[in-house]
Amino acid sequence: MPRYALKIEYHGRPFAGWQRQKELATVQGAVEAALNKLEPVESIAAAGRTDAGVHAMAQVAHVDLAKDWSPFRLSEALNFHLKPLPVAIVAAARVDEDFHARFSALERRYLYRLISRRAPLTFQAGLAWRVAHPLDAAAMQAGADMLVGRHDFTTFRSAECQAASPVKTLDELRIEVLDLPQGGREFRFHVRARSFLHNQVRSFVGTLERAGAGRWTPQDVGAALEARDRAACGPVAPPDGLYLAGVEYPSDPFAI
């Protein structure tokens, strides 16, 4: 059976996450329902399972289909059947049968958007986390630098995490600062690793926000890491600002 990779974009707010759940709206369920309008499909596999309310710019999934579809026609047909849900197939590609959206991935990239301004969000509501107080970008970056590398990330791991080990290698945690024309500042957390623990990125951001607000020092972030204790973590940032921004493979399955 031909195997296809799908690059999927979605707004996470209406969904109870990526993974199919009985009687709940999920992104996987929506894409599988659209696929079943074309031909019977049991399930699809994705690069990562995003939580309720989390968005994706470039989730990757794969599916085996009986029919030999052209990638363009497949993406067009799926987008037709996905309407009016905030889910889009931005690219489709025929891939080798040994390609696996999850296990073939070399790296996953996440983006977290945090906006600091007094006024509530309007256009960006549900797409970023707003805090009303100023934030010190240098303090947050100093704390973030302590997290980069190979560590036991028990402190930043949800109690529901099913990963076999809390030890992971964090390749990048970089904070970009943008002055917004309508007032305020946006802090973009660029996070990169081969794999992540459950709630790891949101735990990072919530903890670093405390450093930016002056409630913690950068050294407190390092101490929280060394504690290897979930109770030492700062508040978990809300899902609104989190995006699965990209997945890297040995070769880009969507390259033309």
CA distance 62 to 20: 15
Q: What is the mean pLDDT of residues 93-117?
A: 97
Predicted pLDDT at 236: 97
Q: How many CB atoms lie within 10 A of CB 17?
A: 19
Is the pLDDT at 173 greater than 70? The verdict is yes
Which tens digit of pLDDT belongs to each residue from 184-217?
A: 999 999 999 999 999 999 999 999 999 999 999 9
Q: Does domain 107-245 have CATH number 3.30.70.660?
A: yes
Q: What is the mean pLDDT of residues 99-128?
A: 96
Sign of CA dihedral 28, 33, 36, 42: positive
Give me the residue spans of the domains in the chain. Answer: 3-104, 107-245
Predicted pLDDT at 144: 98
Classify domain 3-104 by CATH number. 3.30.70.580
First to last CA, the chain: 22
Q: What is the mean pLDDT of residues 63-82?
A: 97
Of the candidates 51, 64, 145, 152, the residue annotated as catalytic is 51
Pick the closest to residue 58 from 19, 13, 92, 20 (CA basis).
92
Let me know if 160 is exposed, middle or buried by CB neighbors in 10 A (0-12, 13-18, 19+). exposed
Predicted pLDDT at 42: 85
Predicted pLDDT at 161: 86
Q: What is the mean pLDDT of residues 111-130?
A: 96
Which tens digit of pLDDT belongs to each residue from 9-48?
A: 999 999 999 999 988 999 999 999 999 999 999 889 999 9
Predicted pLDDT at 252: 95
Predicted pLDDT at 256: 67
**By percentage, how much of the chain surpasses pLDDT 70?**
100
> Could you confirm whether 220 is annotated as catalytic?
no
Q: Specify whether the CB–CB gap between 99 and 5 falls below 8 A.
A: yes
